[in-house]
Chain A
């Protein structure tokens, strides 16, 4: 049962911001939104997570809508090394399982 919906793929120009959308219309009050990415043939890497406030770290920004039904991951200045599959995952406060969908394949082009 998919909790999130992401576009299968998107292209981005190097140096530009990449905005990755995610729909999670059935999210409940205690569920966080997590973003991971997986560069080819490596293990997934944690990017950022949030509950309801927007979050920013050295890798990315996470914008969560006020109704929490969708979010956007922003890579401010995409580089070729940001080419990866990006996963948006919803997980509850006491749920230790992380379930991956198909994600969005992001290709950054020079």
Chain B
């Protein structure tokens, strides 16, 4: 257990379904992230939240909709996905860099393995 919990661990959904991925951390971190990892590809940063505010959206299609209600929780709402969206979705958190800490190490969750059929 890393301190970042993702649910569900596995999800199979149809292209017309709506589902949500959940991420929770109680490490006192203020930044949270969604990454996508497709088969045999490097991790791709999708969204960044800093103090609940979205600070980065890396040209992610609108069928992915993030939500960060507080610094401890992050959601990724999914709707009308395509089979090519099948991937491992990883959540991570990190401390707030402006505090001058030298270790901005990320803590990752175990991921949600998503299959779109």
- Closest Cβ neighbor of B56 among chain A residues: A97
B99 CB to nearest A CB, Å: 10
CA of A3 to CA of B102, assembled, Å? 19
- Closest Cβ neighbor of A32 among chain B residues: B102
Evaluate whether A44 and B106 lie within 8 angstroms (CB atoms) in the complex, with A95-B97, A97-B45 already known: yes
A34 CB to nearest B CB, Å: 7
Best-surrounded residue of A34, A94, A96, A98 (most CB of chain B within 10 A)? A96
Chain A 70-110, CB-CB to B under 8 Å as 1, else 0, gives 00000000000000000000010111111111110000000
Q: Is the CB of A43 within 8 A of B98?
A: no
Evaluate whether A46 and B97 lie within 8 angstroms (CB atoms) in the complex, with A32-B102, A97-B45 already known: no
Q: Is the CB of B110 within 8 A of A96?
A: no
Choose among A34, A46, A91 the residue that contacts B107 (Cβ–Cβ < 8 A): A46
Chain B residues near A91: list those with CB within 8 A. 104
A57 CB to nearest B CB, Å: 11
Chain B residues near A42: list those with CB within 8 A. 110-111
Q: Is the CB of A43 within 8 A of B56?
A: no
Chain A 1-44, CB-CB to B under 8 Å as 1, else 0, gives 00000000000000000000000000000001010100001111
Evaluate whether A102 and B42 lie within 8 angstroms (CB atoms) in the complex, with A41-B88, A43-B109, A96-B97 already known: yes
- Closest Cβ neighbor of A45 among chain B residues: B108
Residues of A within 8 A of B (CB): 32, 34, 36, 41-46, 49, 51, 91, 93-103
